[in-house]
Structure formats: C-alpha cells, structure tokens
Amino acid sequence: MARRRQAVTIRHVAADAGVSLQTVSRVINKEPNVRPEMMARVQDSIARLGYVPSIAAQRMAGSRSYLIVALNDRERTIAGWRDRQGTDWVDQMLLGGMLTCAEHGYRMIVELVDTHSDHIERELLAAIAAIQPDGVILTPPHSENPLITRLLEEHRIAFARIGSRNAGPGFAVAMDEAGAARIATEHLIALGHRRIGFIAGPDEYELSGWRTDGWRTTMVDAGLPTDGLLAAGDFGFASGRAAAAALLGSAVPPTAIIACSDQMTLATLELARERGLDVPGDLSILCFDDTPIVRFVHPPLTAIVQPIAEVTARAVEQVIGDQSGDVAEPIIVPATLAVRASTGAPRSPA
C-alpha cells in the first residue's frame, strides 16, 4: 500500500485562487458572507484542480462526516441473503437510501448488528465511534429497540425509525399500513366481493393491528360483514394454511382472501388449488407483500407494494435535514397496489 496523501487539498485551491484557506472552506460549505467574485474564483479553482474535500478531514475538524449508517439486523439480513428467496428489502432500502444520500452529498454505510445480543450497545457504540456518522437509519426490528434508541438519543445522533409510528426520539417513518389494507379491501369490493377474508399477522407486530383495523374499517364502511372473516397467522406458511382452511371451511366461505405475508398467501393459494378452487374465479387472493416469488407464481398475485425505497428516502431526508428539537410527526408513506391475475370478480355474486 502506498502512503497516500490527498492529491489536491484545500491548500492548493487557496494558493491557486489566491485566497486564504478559510475562504475556500467557506465556499465549500456554502457559507454566507463571501463576495460573489471571490466565490466564483474559488469555485473555478476547485473545478480546475478537481478538488474534493476529504470527509475524514472534515470530520476531524469537527464538521460533519457526511456518512449515514443504515442499521440492519445481522441475523435476519444474512439469512435473507443466504436463502436467496428474492426478497429485495435491502435492495429497496439501498435504492431509496443511497440515492437520497447522494443527492445531499452524503454516503450510506450498511452496518449489521445483532438485535438479540446483550452486547448490542457495545456493537453500536463501536460503529458510531469508528464511523462517526451524522445520522442513523434504524430498520425493523431495531426501530423499536429501546436500547438502541436511547443510546442514539444520548449521543445526540440524528436517527430515523423505519416502520415505526410511535412518537419518541428520532423520526418515525412508516408505510401506511391501514391505508394499504383499505386499498386492498376496496379493490376487492370494487370487483364485487362482499365476503372478504383477512389473514392477519401476529400481534407482536404493531403493524398487524393497523392492517387489521384498515380492513375492518373499510368493510364496515361499505356495510359488509366481518364476522368469521378474520383469522390470525404468524407470517409463516403453516399458519397461513391453517388460517385459510379455517376461513374456507366456514359455512359461508369468503370469495376473496387478503393475507398479510407472502408465505401465508402462497399457503392460501396452495390450499385453494388442492380444493379445486379456481383463482380468481372461485377465490380471489391478495398478498400484502410484493416479493418476486409472488409475481412468478401462477397466477401472479395481486399485491400491496411496500414503498421501502420511498420510506427510506424520507427517513434519510429527515435525518440529514434534522433541525433537531422539533418533535416531528411520524411520516406515513402510502402504499400502492399491483393488480395481477389472482383477483377478479367473484363467479357467483355473494
């Protein structure tokens, strides 16, 4: 390795433009109180010399590091990568996060830490000490981890909690779960369905409740029944099968089912197929997560598209723009619906 030194530093620029270091610094940081004429001269030198400030030096001198850390759960993230099921949560996070960071001259560093671990505080502190990020983006399940949020708060590092709506330290940025459930339900109602089943997620996740509420409210608003149309799962395949079996086994089974995870939806599809139900003729199926697997199955599933990229982008904006102090309202980003072949009008009007 070469002993590397900055090729062109602020000193070169200052010399070239015939001004002091300080003036160059002011121009770089877009500070006021610089004559346009000076500014132009300095910027010209910067461009000509191809000068770019060293973030290490900037950080050292007490300014920003222009680094944002995206904190992901180690176990979960690695498992997702190893399984290769095509889940692109991280990719969408990068899409929204990196590009937004870049727009503001920042960079994003992905950091994996164990949520369960008792030394999570040490891990986080080490990352903060080493990187000295200007902000941190928390992803589930870190977003709700008080050990983490407290630490960040104490260290006065701006952070956002993705998937969280609770007020509290840091910015909460989440998808509109209830709204998504409403969109899904309304889509089915518009197709003519009246008995719409809902396979909810586990209670541990707050979002499960929001989604269920969204479905229920929409049904009630439309004057439709909800009794016997709600079943709970744990996001896993087996639980989805059981829930679907319960719904389809009732006296007057639903003509459509919304399931809150791709696995539960696939389970529902499998069960429907086994029972000789045509999809969507006999049963419309709607998935609450637009993973690739959901698109390549037959028929391709109508699905709620989670705006991960958008949510992350908003989170980054908040963190970068942090005019700290004001307790911001949670930011809620709307979801959209990808209509595919698994939903259609019920064959026999219910």
Residues that bind a copy of itself (CB under 8 A): 1-8, 50-57, 59-60, 62, 64-66, 78, 80-82, 84-86, 88, 90-92, 94-95, 98-99, 102, 107-112, 122, 125-126, 129-132, 134, 155-158, 290-293, 295-298, 309, 322, 324
Structure tokens at 237: 């395949």
Q: At its nearest, how many Å lie between a copy of itself and the CB of residue 56? A: 4
Is cis: bond before 225, omega within 30 of 0? no
CB nearer DNA, residue 36 or residue 276: 36
The H or E element that residue 264 is part of is: helix 262-274
Q: Which of residues 27-46 bind DNA (CB under 7 A)?
A: 28-29, 33-35, 37-39
Q: At its nearest, how many Å lie between DNA and the CB of residue 114? A: 24
CB distance 69 to 319 below 8 Å? no
Q: Is residue 280 part of the contact set for DNA (CB under 7 A)?
A: no
Structure tokens at 120: 């999570």
- The CA-to-CA distance between both ends of the chain, in Å, stands at 73
Strand partners, 71: 111, 138
CB distance 292 to 219 below 8 Å? no
Interatomic CA distance for residues 78 and 104, integer angstroms: 29
Q: How many CB atoms lie within 10 A of CB 135?
A: 27
CB nearer DNA, residue 52 or residue 167: 52
CB nearer a copy of itself, residue 218 or residue 312: 312
Q: At its nearest, how many Å lie between DNA and the CB of residue 33? A: 4
Binds 38: which of DNA, a copy of itself, none (CB < 5-8 Å by kind): DNA
Q: At its nearest, how many Å lie between a copy of itself and the CB of residue 236? A: 18
The piece of 56-64, 222-230, 245-253, 266-274 that touches DNA (CB under 7 A) is 56-64
Interatomic CA distance for residues 304 and 180, integer angstroms: 7
Q: Which of 50, 62, 249, 325 binds DNA (CB under 7 A)?
A: 62
Cα–Cα distance list, 68 to 71, 158, 217, 315, 318 (Å): 9, 10, 39, 11, 12
Binds 99: which of a copy of itself, DNA, none (CB < 5-8 Å by kind): a copy of itself
- For residue 262, the number of C-alpha atoms closer than 13 Å in the C-beta half-sphere is 18
CB nearer a copy of itself, residue 21 or residue 57: 57
Name the DSSP class of 31. -
Q: Which of 19, 98, 138, 272 binds DNA (CB under 7 A)?
A: 19
The residues of the shown chain that bind DNA, judged by CB under 7 A, are 3, 5-6, 9-11, 19-26, 28-29, 33-35, 37-39, 51, 53-54, 57-58, 60-63
